Amino acid sequence: MKIAMIGTGYVGLVTGACLAHIGHEIICVDHDQSKISALKNGEIPIYEPGLDKVVADSIASGNLTFTTELTEAVEAVGTIFIAVGTPPAADGRSDLTQVEAAAKQIAKAANGSKIVVIKSTVPVGTCRRVGRILGKHGEDHEFHVASNPEFLREGNAVDDFMNPDRIVVGTDSDKSEAAMRDIYQRFEAQDVPFVSTNLETSELIKYSANAFLAAKVAFINEMSNLCDATGANVEDLSLGIGLDERIGKAFLKPGPGYGGSCFPKDTLALTILAQEADAPSRIIESVVDSNSNHIRRLGRKIAEFCADSWGLDYQHPLIDKRIAVLGLAFKANTDDIRSAASTVIAPLLIKQGASVIGYDPEASEAALDAIDHIETTTDMDEALEGADAVVILTEWENIKSIDWSKKKKLLKSPVIIDLRNLFDPDQMAELNIQYSSLGRPLTGNRR
Ligand code: UGA
């Protein structure tokens, strides 16, 4: 099928390239001329494993093209996906300016009946609103609207697209439902469940899925604090509850709080949506609070652990100390630092008088722009050299595989606060490293 994809941000580019890869003819549209020129040469503006190959192969097969000309693209196709940004506005609501502008442009450019698919994450009611905009600005033509949320994880997006758990589609007519079934026919043929529903339900499925996963993360983080306080072990706890199929093992790893461009934004937007619908979600409101309390609590934990390890009192222990932060991206395999733990933890440490050097293989540059007074590097040894303490925030493979028996000598004092539980507390004790992680007592302490 011939499809236009409006927006070549993270979602639009991955979806466009992957749809091209499975045989559709995709025209990706973006008003950013330099981005489109770079994409035409196969240059990918984001770090996403495997995406460069999918883009290059699809360009070579002729299935993927790029343009800045929205009108020409709309004229050439019957189905248009809107995959533009819906960033949070100052009040936490999603800013729909770009979605509405795209709808208006599509309506004006239309040369016949069109199916318009909303891929961007949008509050309930947006697809109907887009339908009204299309009708108003393109009154000579027939428009059908569909909602088709994405469930792609950054760092795993290509694989998630190719191996989906389900396809969710909300439609307003048989025509748009049939078009969506055609687009995803390959997956239905592989028995991937196809959830076909109305527009509102589809929009809400996206928010509910992210909110539920965020709740799991917030829950296990609270449990890890409780484990710390009681001598229980959060990893055994995760396994012990996760093996119950009704709970499931995924998303039960404690960490420095959920971050990224989706969970923080979507949980907040869902609480506002629920309040406005007079059906407030106390659970999601608590999840949002729990996540921000968790990271602040970890800030205190770092300072206290350092003070104990260095034999200082709790009054300003970090003054003039050099702290290496390993991992600045909000999770591994991405260069994204939006709502990353590093953007909260590093400023907290700096505010308490520490100098912070952050290491990340992909996100160092972005962090330098986003975090005042941080120094960053892509050379891990440079970060570790002379550090009074190390704080681990991201589970990059090369951080996970550090051999501390070798790297320890670079440190001024062997103090490590591991907020991803990447290392074995007993081994760290054997290396005489002062080591703190989340919810894990030494097994030597087993009672
Ligand atoms: C999330 C969803 O997982 C995707 O399904 C969805 O499509 C996407 O949002 C979106 O709405 O676009 P993503 O933001 O890429 O994907 O990241 P996740 O892998 O879900 O992780 C979110 C946060 O939770 C990260 O900070 C991660 O470190 C944290 N997390 C995750 C944990 O702390 N523990 C876990 O066990 C799992």
Final residue of a domain: which of 170, 197, 224?
197
**Residue 72: partners with Cβ closer than 8 Å, 6 or more residues away:** none
Q: What angle do CA 372, 373, 376 make, to 5 degrees?
A: 100
Identify the residue whose C-alpha is closest to ligand 1 atom 10: 262
Contact 323, 353 (CB under 8 A): no
Is 335 a domain residue?
Answer: yes
Report phi then psi at 256, rounded to 5.
Answer: -85, 30
149 lines ligand 1 (CB under 6 A): no
| Residue nearest ligand 1's atom 13 by CA | 153
Q: In Å, how far are 216, 221, 396, 444 from 251, measured between CA atoms?
A: 6, 11, 17, 28
CB 88 within 8 A of CB 116: no
Do 276 and 136 lie in a common domain?
no
Q: Is 81 in the pocket of ligand 1 (CB under 6 A)?
A: no
Place of tokens 């360009």: 59
CA distance 128 to 134: 10
Instruction: Answer whether 253 contacts ligand 1 (Cβ < 6 A).
Output: yes
Residues 190 and 271 in one domain: no
pLDDT in tens, 27-72: 999 999 999 999 999 899 999 999 999 999 999 999 999 999 999 9
pLDDT at 260: 96
Question: Is 111 within a domain?
Answer: yes
- Give the list of residues 6+ apart from residue 245 with CB closer than 8 angstroms, or none: none
pLDDT reading at 325 higher than 80? yes
Work out how many domains the chain is built from and give that number: 3
Same domain, 342 and 376: yes
What separation in Å is there between the alpha carbon of 153 and the centre of ligand 1? Answer: 6
- Cα 167 to ligand 1 centroid, rounded to whole Å: 18
Query: Based on the domain organization, do 265 and 325 belong to the same domain?
Result: no
**441 alpha carbon – ligand 1 mean position (Å):** 27
Summarize pLDDT for 215-262 with one digit per residue, the tens: 999 999 999 999 999 999 999 999 999 999 999 999 999 999 999 999
Alpha carbon 316 to its chain's center: 34
pLDDT of residue 243: 98
Same domain for 44 and 176, yes or no, is: yes
Residue 92 binned pLDDT confidence (cut-offs 50, 70, 90): confident
How confident is the model over 391-426, as pLDDT tens digits? 999 999 999 999 999 999 999 999 999 999 999 999
What value does the mean pLDDT take over residues 288-310? 96
Pocket test for ligand 1, best of 204, 213, 342, 420 (most atoms within 8 A of CB): 213
Nearest in space to 284 (alpha carbons), one of 294, 295, 298, 273: 273
Give residue 87 CA to ligand 1 midpoint distance, Å. 17
pLDDT tier at 447 (50, 70, 90 boundaries)? very low
CATH code at position 6? 3.40.50.720
Residue 238 sits in the same domain as residue 193: no
3-state helix/strand/coil string of 139-175: CCCCEEEEECCCCCCCCCHHHHHHCCCCEEEEECCHH
| Residue positions annotated with a catalytic role | 262
Closest listed residue to residue 18, CA positions, set 64, 77, 83, 60: 64
pLDDT-based confidence at residue 441 (cuts at 50, 70, 90): confident
Does the C-beta of 9 come closer than 6 Å to ligand 1? no
pLDDT at 444 > cutoff 60: no
Whether 268 and 315 map to the same domain: the answer is no
Token representation of residue 427: 């081994």
Tell whether 115 is covered by a domain.
Answer: yes
Our answer on whether the CB atom of 339 is closer than 6 Å to any ligand 1 atom is: no
pLDDT in tens, 339-394: 999 999 999 999 999 999 999 999 999 999 999 999 999 999 999 999 999 999 99
Element of type H or E holding 416: strand 415-418
| Pairing state between β 167-171 and 143-147 | antiparallel
Q: Are residues 400 and 303 in the same domain?
A: yes
Asked if residue 6 and residue 63 are part of one domain, the reply reads: yes
Q: Residues 6 or more apart from 308 whose CB is under 8 A from it?
A: 434
Strand partners, 323: 356, 389
Domain that holds residue 258: 207-288
Point out the domain boundary residue: 197, 218, 252. Answer: 197
Which 3-state string (H, E, C) describes 288-321? HHHHHHHHHHHHHHHHHHHHHHHCCCCCCCCCCC
The protein residue with its alpha carbon nearest to ligand 1, atom 37, reads 251
Residue 374 lies in a domain: yes
Residue 443 counted as domain residue: no
Domain boundary residue, one of 168, 197, 226? 197
Q: Is the CB of 219 under 6 A from ligand 1?
A: no
Asked if residue 325 is part of any domain, the answer here is yes
Interatomic CA distance for residues 147 and 38, integer angstroms: 30
On whether both 247 and 144 belong to a single domain, the answer is no
The answer to whether 260 and 336 are in contact (CB under 8 A) is: yes
Domain containing 225 — which CATH number? 1.10.1040.10
Ligand 1 center to residue 263 CA distance, Å? 7
Provide, rounded to the nearest whole percent, the portion of the chain with pLDDT above 70: 99
CA–CA distance, 255 with 179 (Å, rounded to integer): 41
Name the residue at shortest CA distance from atom 23 of ligand 1. Answer: 258
Same structural domain, 347 and 422 = yes
Residues 215 and 104 in one domain: no
pLDDT level of residue 442 (50, 70, 90 thresholds):
confident
Within-domain flag for 444:
no
Region 297-319: mean pLDDT is 95
